[in-house]
Amino acid sequence: MKKNNSILLIAILAVTLAVLLVVCIFVVNHDSKEPTPTQPQTQPTTVPTQPPTQPPTEPPVTKVSTATVYSVGDMLMHMPVINTGYDEATRTYDLEMIFDYISDYTASADLMVGNLETTLAGLDNGYNYSGYPQFNCPDSVVDAMKAAGFDVVLTANNHSYDTRTVGLNRTLQVIRDRELSYLGTKLDAAEKDYIIADCNGIQIGLLCYTYDTGTSDPETIALNGITLTKEDSKLVNSFDYNELDVFYADVEENMAAMEREGAEAVMLYIHWGEEYQLQANSSQKAIAQKLCDLGVDVIVGGHPHVVQPVELLTSTTDESQKTVCLYSMGNAVSNQRLGNLSSVKTAHTEDGAMMQVTFAEYSDGTVIVETADVLPFWVWMHYDADWNKLYQLMPLDDQIEDWQTQFGVDNDVLKKLQDSYDRTMALVGEGIEEAQAYYSANQQAVEAALGVK
């Protein structure tokens, strides 16, 4: 039995050694090989990139609006002019014929302005209709202005108080009732001294002043030799040649107020100078220069009853500030004719000038004076077929090829039209050409700088 156990033990040992040998061989072979990845290796995923984003571009600057303002001078309502509109059957007045020949111009303006050199006190307040030296006219003159396309009536002049408080106030009430704007005098001291006219989206600030002769009382003024009450003195935009610093301060204050309210340009109307003088005097020139320095864009004058020159002014404090100034528009309508005034030896009182100024606005908000021009006209006093006397404003437009055919006048009247044109252009031609050349060059420079398309 022992012999069999020995044999069994030897067999077990042999099997054990064989198993150990196999295990060792497996371990050695396993350690000598590179590891085998369980999954194939892949390249990292690349996300396509977008091209660089360009910054948004601003739309090109363009001209978005223009506005043309026309202005005429003194409507000096002498009795011969008033009487032309009288209808004896109805005892009423119709003065629309005054503007018949220029109504196409006045109606086409974006803003039409005229100086009313009379009062409208009516007949129920102790006054009759009258001409020089103290004017009182029928309300129909304002009806005629409205029918012709006027928008703004200038009321600050040396005749504003000819019929005292009632005339000062009633004149404005009539204008307001006709839905026109008044400028230069007020119904209440609390009213603004200026207006801002929205002309095709362009905000144009307007101011109007007249000279006063002053009094010994600093709280009162005098117009046409008549001293105003203290309360009425507050209702007139005026200046004293001896107190110009006060005037300039008032203009500056009003301009600042207009700018705060959005005004983008300023026109100032001023009653000044010496009657019947064809050239501006030293006071007018000094005042105009100061107004230019203050930033006024356009100055339009009245009172001399004759046309005076145009001048392009440059600010003494800012070379980029230019101001076009027509020192006097002359009369719009009057009976001041050659032979009627001993102090006048020429027909210049029969001539007038319509000031024409166009503003332009660009999409970035820039506003410039685009151009300025003058349309001469002549006051034609004549009789119609029924021997009714007429005073009519005749536009001396050089774009009209044949004035004689256009107006149906004879050779004698044609010569007077041509003579009037020549008189006016001799006074304003050089200045208006200089202004036009500057505004044209300035517009090109502005548009180039803005990149206007």
Which of the four pLDDT bands, split at 50, 70 and 90, describes residue 54? low
What is the reported pLDDT for 57? 74
CA distances from 30 to 19, 249, 429, 431 (A): 17, 106, 113, 110
The β-bridge relationship of strands 202-212 and 238-240 is: parallel
Q: Where exactly are the structural domains of the chain?
A: 63-450
> Residue 329 pLDDT more than 70?
yes
Phi first, then psi, for residue 298 (nearest 5°) are -140, 130
Which of the four pLDDT bands, split at 50, 70 and 90, describes residue 102? very high
Q: What is the pLDDT of residues 206-248, one digit of tens each?
A: 999 999 999 999 999 999 999 999 999 999 999 999 999 999 9
Q: Which CATH class is domain 63-450?
A: alpha beta
Six token digits for residue 17: 């050694």
List the beta bridge partners of residue 399.
none
Picking from 352, 417, 397, 399, the residue whose alpha carbon sits closest to that of residue 114 is: 352
pTM, two decimals, is: 0.88
Q: Which amino acid is at 302?
A: G
Q: What is the pLDDT of residues 27-42, one digit of tens each?
A: 334 444 444 444 444 4
Answer for the pair 204, 267: CB distance below 8 angstroms, yes or no. Answer: yes
Across 97-105, average pLDDT = 97
Which of the four pLDDT bands, split at 50, 70 and 90, describes residue 49? low
Phi first, then psi, for residue 236 (nearest 5°) are -120, 125
Q: What percent of the chain has pLDDT over 70?
A: 88
Q: What is the pLDDT of residues 273-317, one digit of tens each?
A: 999 999 999 999 999 999 999 999 999 999 999 999 999 999 999
Q: What is the pLDDT of residues 332-385, one digit of tens each?
A: 999 999 999 888 899 999 999 999 999 999 999 999 999 999 999 999 999 998
Q: What is the pLDDT of residues 242-275, one digit of tens each?
A: 999 999 999 999 999 999 999 999 999 999 999 9
> Residue 416 pLDDT more than 50?
yes
